[in-house]
Amino acid sequence: MIGLLNIGSLLLGLVAWILPVIILTRYDKNNPKNWAAFSLASMSACAISLCFQLAYNYHLVKIEDWIALMDTAGAVVSAAAVLLIVTILLNAITIFVYRDKAAK
């Protein structure tokens, strides 16, 4: 069951990237709909994905699997940083594209 945390983290990370791309590809100048909800869902998926990784690392500490923790810590930190940066950039682009239309 604990192994599902890694799969869930990967899937939610992909969702965090796919949602802003969907918003940007469906850009409609005259009718901006639900872009804020999609951006919020994207950021939430990113946050939950990172929480899953923290929970998995906590599990490794709890069962005292120090070798697994030492082997994966660097990759987990790098992947988490990439996930967070790309998610923020995609959502910032979405906000930049839609901000003027939402004000009108």
Which of the residues in the chain have pLDDT under 50?
Answer: none
DSSP 46-76: HHHHHHHHHHHHHHHHHTT-HHHHHHHHHHH
HSE-up of residue 19 (Cα within 13 Å, Cβ side): 25
**pLDDT for position 30:** 62
Entry pTM? 0.89
**pLDDT for position 43:** 98
**pLDDT for position 92:** 96
**pLDDT for position 26:** 84
**pLDDT for position 29:** 64
**pLDDT for position 1:** 84
C-beta of residue 9 within 8 angstroms of C-beta of residue 52: yes
**pLDDT for position 9:** 97
